[in-house]
A = this chain, B = another copy of it.
Amino acid sequence: MTQRIPIAVAYGDGIGPEIMKATLDIIQTAGANIEIETVEIGEKVYLRGIETGMDPNAWELLRRTKVFLKAPITTPQGGGYKSLNVTTRKALGLYANVRPSVSYSPFVHTKHPVMNVVIIRENEEDLYAGIEHRQTDQVYQCLKLITRPGSEKVIRYAFEYARANGRKKVTCFVKDNIMKLTDGLFHKVFDETAAAYPDIENELWIVDIGAAKLADTPEHFDVIVMPNLYGDVLSDVAAQIAGSVGLAGSSNIGEQCAMFEAIHGSAPRRAGQNLANPSGLLLAAVMMLVHIGQSEVAARVHNAWLKTIEDGIHTYDIFKEGVSRQKAGTAEFAAAVIRRLGDVP
């Protein structure tokens, strides 16, 4: 047996521990050759007074493993806590956030049966730079930052991703009829980069009408690259209309490190009830397995997951009379996936 690949794992808050357990059970049974190193993050760490929500020692671990599988966390209200997601993305230089949204029609109910969109969102800049201030009691400002290197990295990644994954088109969303400098720069870099990939079709939409087209006719799109905030909003839109935000995994890609997570939150009200859908985190783990070179295990897990979904074994969030066949809790869903690990694709 080859040496196991160390990965950092955070169980997170709310439904985090349940879906992480399900995910790890599945991928380990499938034969993932990994060495799990747990990091403590989120609510408990925040409440110990650590503003970032991450134990300072954890950074050292993440920089060593370079691979991080992260469950959703809860940021306590008030108290000036920073978003750990944002802190991590910036601290580890995770410049591209890759969010596929796929329809599983007719097995999962959707109004958009033909949908296979990958949104690649810039992941460090924009209004997420976190530069905000209060000018007077009445006037607050937040700085939107767009840089050429940041734009170049994520846009080039989008075209490379398209090429590596047999995708035909990369679309860019910006609002440069208003933000002529910032979004104008993103647009310009898109045009420059597109010229270097003549094999990939490219197009540009103003984000308002682009979002409308995406919500109405998602089959028009293939890969879409955009600044951070648009990508945040529109990746939730895309995932939800494909079936559920609960079905979407994501990877956060940097030059050194990568982080894998579901796109949904920690849903504290569902916690501890064996209700949550582990699919988002599981599909993120599949992306992780591909990333660390264990594509065969990834394919086995993905196939077993797909069979489970196709067999109508659905958690409450995607359960629909006439489409689903069996309502499963988190643990039963995971067991069903594990039973199908040997199935032929």
Hey, which chain B residues are within 8 Å of A265, CB to CB? Answer: 209
* CB nearest to A243 among chain B residues: B216
Q: Would you give 14 A-B contacts (Cβ < 8 Å), ordered by A?
A: A111-B111, A127-B175, A132-B179, A133-B181, A138-B148, A140-B181, A141-B143, A142-B143, A142-B181, A142-B182, A143-B144, A208-B235, A212-B239, A215-B237
Encode contact with B along A17-33: 1 for CB under 8 Å, 0 otherwise.
00000000000000000
Q: How many copies does the complex hold?
A: 2
Q: In this assembly, does A83 line the interface, its C-beta being within 8 Å of a C-beta of chain B? A: yes
Residues of chain A from 1 to 51 with CB closer than 8 A to chain B in the complex: none
> Would you call A180 an interface residue if the criterion is a C-beta within 8 Å of the partner chain's C-beta atoms?
yes
Contact of B229 with A212 in the complex, beta carbons under 8 Å: no
Whether B137 lies near A148 (C-beta < 8 A) is yes
Q: Say how far A12's CB is from chain B's closest CB, in angstroms.
A: 15
At the interface, yes or no: A207 with Cβ under 8 Å from chain B? yes
Q: Contact: A178 with B86, CB < 8 Å?
A: yes
Chain B residues, CB < 8 A from A86: 178
**A186: nearest chain-B partner, CB-CB:** B140
Are A127 and B208 in contact, CB atoms less than 8 angstroms apart? no
How far, in Å, is A53 (CB) from chain B's closest CB? 12
Nearest B-chain residue to A207, judged by Cβ: B233
Within 8 A of B (CB), among A218-243: 229-230, 232-237, 239-241
Q: How far is the CB of A121 from chain B (nearest CB, A)?
A: 11
Starting from the known contacts A138-B148, A215-B241, A230-B233, 11 additional A-B residue pairs (CB-CB under 8 Å) come to A111-B111, A139-B146, A140-B145, A141-B146, A142-B179, A142-B181, A211-B233, A211-B234, A212-B240, A215-B237, A233-B233
A75 proximal to B (CB < 8 A): yes
> Chain B residues with Cβ under 8 A from A233's Cβ?
207-208, 211, 230, 233
Interface string of A75-93 (1 = CB under 8 A from B): 1000010010010000000
How many angstroms from the CA of A307 to the CA of B49 in the assembled complex? 63
Q: Cβ of A134 < 8 Å from any Cβ of B? A: yes
Provide the residues of chain B in CB contact with A212, threshold 8 Å: 236-237, 239-241, 245
Out of B132, B137, B143, B240, name the residue touching A216 (CB < 8 Å). Answer: B240
Whether a CB of chain B sits under 8 angstroms from the CB of A128 is yes
Q: In this complex, what residue of B is CB-closest to A112?
A: B111
CB of A140 within 8 A of CB of B182, answer yes
Q: How far is the CA of A142 from the CA of B127 in the complex (A)?
A: 9
Chain B residues, Cβ within 8 Å of A139: 145-148
Q: Within the assembled complex, what's the spacing in Å between the Cα atoms of A326 and B123?
A: 48
